C-alpha cells in the first residue's frame, strides 16, 4: 500500500477516485455530505467522520488521508447546521448519525460507490466523539469507533446541576457558537443536556462496547474538554469493564489538535488498519 503521508496512490482508470456530494434523509431533513471514494474496485471499508459543535473544524484533512489509505470517508452536516434544514439539537445529532450509518448500507449507495457495508467505522471529534461512541453503542454492527477530544454530556450535565455558575458558563458558551446553527439557544441546549443526564455519560457505554475496537484520544492542553474531566474517567471505566480492544492516548495539544494533525491522522489510521 502507498504511504498516505508521502505519496498519492496509483490511479485506477476503470475505478477512479471520486468525491461525490451525497444526501441522507433524517427526521424530515436532507443531510448534506461529501464522500471521499478511493480508487480501485473495492469494496471499500467506510469511515464516517463526525464533526463537533458547531462544526468549524470538519476534519477534511483526516478524510483525505483515509481515502489515500483505501477507506471511503464521509463528512456530513447535521440537521439545523450550515444550511441544512431542520433544527439543531443534541438529540437530532444522534438521530442524524444513526440515519447516515443506515443510509451508507443502502444497496444502491453501496453499489454506486463500491462500499463494504460490513466494515463501517465511526471517527468523531468533540461532540462528534460523543456521537461516535453513542451511535456505536446503539448499533452493534458498527465495526470500530474512534473518539477524539470527546465532550462527555453526562459529566457536563452533572457539573451544571452541582454548580449554577458552571451552568451559566455553559449557556453562554453554547450561545456563542450558534452562528451557523438554527432552531436552538444556549439555554435550550443546556436544558436538553440536563434532561438526558447520566444516559449521556460516556463511561456508562462500556458494556455495550466491550467486544469492539475502541480508540479514545484525549488532549492535554484542552480547555473545552479537559482530559481529567472528559477523557480519563472514560478510559478508567472502559479498562474496568473491560473494553477488550481499547486503545487510548493523550496528545499534548489543544481541543482542535491544531499542531498535532499528522499525529492524529497516524493514530486514527493505525487503529483502523489494525481493526477494520
Residue 125 predicted with pLDDT over 90: yes
pLDDT at 246 over 80: yes
**Of 55, 203, 230, 197, the residue nearest 134 (C-alpha):** 203
Tens digits of per-residue pLDDT, 176-199? 999 999 999 999 999 999 999 999
- Whether 165 has a pLDDT exceeding 90, the answer reads yes
138, 98 Cβ separation under 8 angstroms: yes
What's the pLDDT score for residue 1? Answer: 63
Q: What is the pTM of this model?
A: 0.97
SS3 category, 50: strand
Whole-number pLDDT of residue 2 = 76
Mean pLDDT of the chain: 97
* Grid cell of 160 as nine digits: 451544571
Confidence of residue 37 (pLDDT cuts 50, 70, 90): very high
pLDDT at 69: 97
Q: Which CATH superfamily is domain 21-154+201-275 in?
A: Alpha/Beta hydrolase fold, catalytic domain (3.40.50.1820)
β-sheet with 21-26: strand ranges across: 21-26, 29-36, 72-76, 44-50, 115-125, 144-148, 213-219, 245-251
Query: Which pLDDT score is estimated for 240?
Result: 98
pLDDT number for residue 226: 97
What's the CA gap between 159 and 169, in Å, rounded?
Answer: 11
How large a percentage of the chain has pLDDT more than 70?
100
Q: What is the mean pLDDT of residues 7-21?
A: 95
Any idea where the domains of the chain sit in the sequence?
Answer: 21-154+201-275
Calculate mean pLDDT across residues 215-219.
98
DSSP-based helix, strand, coil % in the chain, nearest 5: 40, 20, 35
59 three-class SS: coil
Q: Which three cell numbers stand for residue 67?
A: 481515502
**Chain segment 193-216, per-residue pLDDT in tens:** 999 999 999 999 999 999 999 999
Amino acid at each position: 500500500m502507498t504511504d498516505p503521508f508521502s505519496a498519492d496512490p496509483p490511479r485506477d482508470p476503470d475505478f477512479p477516485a471520486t468525491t461525490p456530494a451525497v444526501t441522507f434523509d433524517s427526521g424530515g431533513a436532507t443531510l448534506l455530505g461529501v464522500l471521499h471514494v478511493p480508487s480501485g474496485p473495492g469494496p471499500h471499508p467506510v469511515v464516517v467522520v463526525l464533526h463537533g459543535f458547531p462544526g468549524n473544524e470538519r476534519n477534511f484533512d483526516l478524510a483525505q488521508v483515509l481515502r489515500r489509505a483505501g477507506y471511503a470517508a464521509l463528512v456530513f452536516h447535521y440537521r439545523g447546521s450550515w444550511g441544512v434544514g431542520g433544527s439543531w439539537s443534541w438529540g437530532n445529532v444522534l438521530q442524524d448519525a444513526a440515519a447516515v450509518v443506515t443510509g451508507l448500507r443502502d444497496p444502491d449507495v453501496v453499489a454506486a460507490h463500491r462500499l463494504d457495508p460490513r466494515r463501517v467505522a465511526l471517527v468523531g471529534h468533540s461532540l462528534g466523539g460523543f456521537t461516535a461512541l453513542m451511535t456505536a453503542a446503539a448499533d452493534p454492527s458498527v465495526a470500530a469507533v474512534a473518539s477524539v477530544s470527546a465532550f462527555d454530556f453526562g459529566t457536563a450535565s452533572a457539573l451544571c446541576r452541582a454548580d449554577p455558575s458552571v451552568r451559566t458558563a455553559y449557556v453562554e458558551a453554547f450561545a456563542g457558537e450558534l452562528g451557523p446553527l438554527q432552531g436552538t439557544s444556549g439555554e435550550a441546549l443546556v436544558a436538553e443536556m440536563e434532561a438526558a443526564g447520566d444516559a449521556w455519560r460516556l463511561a456508562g457505554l462500556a458494556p455495550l462496547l466491550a467486544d469492539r475496537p475502541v480508540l479514545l484520544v484525549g488532549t492535554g492542553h484542552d480547555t473545552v474538554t479537559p482530559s481529567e474531566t472528559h477523557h480519563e474517567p472514560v478510559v478508567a471505566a472502559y479498562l474496568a469493564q473491560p473494553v477488550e480492544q481499547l486503545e487510548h492516548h493523550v496528545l499534548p495539544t489543544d481541543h482542535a489538535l491544531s499542531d498535532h494533525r499528522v499525529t492524529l491522522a497516524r493514530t486514527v489510521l493505525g487503529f483502523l488498519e489494525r481493526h477494520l
